[in-house]
């Protein structure tokens, strides 16, 4: 198999406590996964699970405390400054809130020209203008939109510009951090379609971060599930949605509203506060909420174990009963 585009190895990020004496927040703990060339990897989890922190580490908005991020086998964290700046455009991000993602004092054209010039600093004016026009058409807008300012655009149009800015520097990998969560449902579908088209035509690799499993099911080739900063399950989207291995993934899937199914009264994810990332413990982080919890879970941290082809899960149930692999617990 070819080498993955991006390899994340034992990534760690801890945030210092807000107040003196508070405990630090372990946002991401020992997360490892690969982003394979040309795939869409969905990264899911509830709020506080560390999905955005991972995305921001990948584009260097956060400096990880440990672990490696390998792009083509090169560790971005240890690259010298100059080499890093050239590499930086390889991974670009699409932000959640389209209204704060664009500089209100810059016209759409100027914002995109800035990105285009950054990519090819020696290109002439005509070349940039031609590329600008092509870029606008590529994302489904018209050349006359170049003279608009962000406040003259709708949310969906702003998000298109955000996408255009990200692909203007010709990245190899896009991080979509809740890229459609702030949009109307009807606009969501358009933006998802656009992302899908671009991914196909430009051969992009994409990390699609979302809390919305319905959207992830639609776009992702593979899905990674995070719980309290740890990877609990990763595998092909089809397998995850058909036969989720981890109790947490099962609970997440059960929480998707489905008119054909009666509401599950015993929903274990009902706690509105969600899990507390500061609560440290030796065992499995999900143990306090897990319906299948055993004594063993509170003692030992479960490892990721293979449960099916290309599908791993971190749960002791999966380790104890290897003969039951593939079944739903």
Partner 1 sequence: MTETMFQASVRMPVRAARTSLLSRVLASWQGRIGGGIVTFFTLMAVFAPWITPHSPTEVDFMSVMVVPTLEHPFGTDEVGRDILSRVILGARTSLLVVVAATLISSVAGAAIGLVAGWVGGWVDTLVMRVMDAMLAFPLIVLALAIIAVLGPSLTNAIIAIGIVKIPHFARLMRGEVLTLRTLDYIKAVETMGLGLPRILLRHVLPNAAGPVLVYMSIAASLALMTEASLSFLGLGIQPPTPSWGGMVSVGMQNWHFWWMSFYPGLAIFITVLAFNLLGDAIRDAMDRRLS
List interacting residues with partner 1 (CB under 8 A). 59-61, 85-86, 88-89, 91-93, 95-97, 100-107, 114-115, 118, 140-142, 147-149, 151-152, 154, 156-157, 162, 165-166, 169, 186-187, 190
State the nearest-atom distance from the C-beta of 258 to partner 1, in Å.
26
State the nearest-atom distance from the C-beta of 152 to partner 1, in Å.
5
Nearer to partner 1, 139 or 287 (CB): 139
Q: How far is CA 76 from CA 28, 80, 174, 175, in A?
A: 18, 9, 16, 16
Tokens of 108: 């759409």
Report which of 2, 36, 66, 41 is spatially closest to residue 233, judged by C-alpha positions.
Answer: 41
State the nearest-atom distance from the C-beta of 99 to partner 1, in Å.
9
Residues whose CB is less than 8 angstroms from the CB of residue 7 and which lie 6 or more positions away in sequence, other chains included: 34, 35, 68, 69, 70, 73
265, with CB counted inside 10 A (0-12, 13-18, 19+), is exposed
Sign of CA dihedral 214, 220, 222, 227: negative
Nearer to partner 1, 92 or 199 (CB): 92
The Cα–Cα gap between 94 and 195 comes to 10
Nearer to partner 1, 92 or 250 (CB): 92
The Cα–Cα gap between 206 and 221 comes to 10
State the nearest-atom distance from the C-beta of 159 to partner 1, in Å.
11
State the nearest-atom distance from the C-beta of 43 to partner 1, in Å.
18
**Ramachandran assignment for 159, one of left (phi > 0), alpha (psi -120 to 50 degrees), beta (any other):** alpha
Nearer to partner 1, 186 or 328 (CB): 186
State the nearest-atom distance from the C-beta of 145 to partner 1, in Å.
8
Nearer to partner 1, 81 or 261 (CB): 81
Nearer to partner 1, 85 or 298 (CB): 85
Query: Beta partners for 214?
Result: none
Are the beta carbons of 9 and 70 closer than 8 angstroms?
Answer: yes
Nearer to partner 1, 45 or 98 (CB): 98
Q: Which residues of 98-112 are buried (b: 16+ CB within 10 A; e: fewer)?
A: beebbeeeebbbebb
State the nearest-atom distance from the C-beta of 295 to partner 1, in Å.
44
């Amino acid at each position: 198999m070819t080498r993955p585009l991006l390899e994340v190895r034992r990534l760690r990020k801890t945030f210092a406590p807000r107040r003196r004496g508070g405990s630090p927040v372990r946002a991401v703990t020992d997360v490892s996964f690969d982003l394979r060339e040309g795939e869409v990897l969905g990264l899911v989890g509830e709020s506080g699970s560390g999905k955005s922190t991972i995305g921001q580490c990948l584009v260097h908005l956060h400096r990880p405390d440990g672990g490696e991020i390998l792009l083509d086998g090169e560790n971005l964290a240890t690259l010298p400054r100059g080499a890093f700046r050239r590499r930086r455009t390889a991974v670009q991000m699409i932000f959640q809130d389209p209204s704060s993602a664009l500089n209100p004092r810059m016209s759409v054209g100027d914002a995109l020209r800035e990105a285009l010039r950054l990519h090819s600093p020696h290109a002439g004016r005509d070349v940039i203008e031609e590329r600008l026009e092509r870029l606008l058409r590529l994302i489904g807008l018209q050349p006359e939109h170049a003279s608009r300012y962000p406040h003259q655009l709708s949310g969906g149009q702003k998000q298109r510009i955000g996408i255009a800015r990200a692909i203007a520097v010709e990245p190899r990998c896009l991080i979509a951090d809740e890229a459609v969560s702030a949009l109307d449902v009807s606009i969501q579908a358009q933006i998802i379609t656009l992302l899908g088209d671009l991914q196909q035509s430009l051969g992009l690799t994409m990390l699609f971060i979302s809390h919305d499993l319905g959207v992830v099911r639609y776009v992702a080739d593979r899905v990674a599930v995070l719980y309290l900063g740890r990877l609990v399950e990763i595998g092909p989207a089809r397998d995850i949605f058909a036969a989720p291995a981890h109790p947490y993934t099962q609970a997440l899937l059960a929480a998707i509203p489905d008119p054909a199914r009666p509401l599950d009264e015993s929903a274990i994810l009902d706690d509105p506060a969600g899990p507390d990332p500061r609560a440290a413990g030796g065992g499995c982080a999900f143990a306090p909420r897990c319906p299948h919890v055993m004594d063993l879970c509170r003692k030992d941290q479960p490892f990721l174990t293979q449960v099916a082809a290309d599908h791993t899960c971190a749960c002791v149930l999966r380790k104890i009963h290897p003969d039951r692999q593939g079944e739903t617990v």
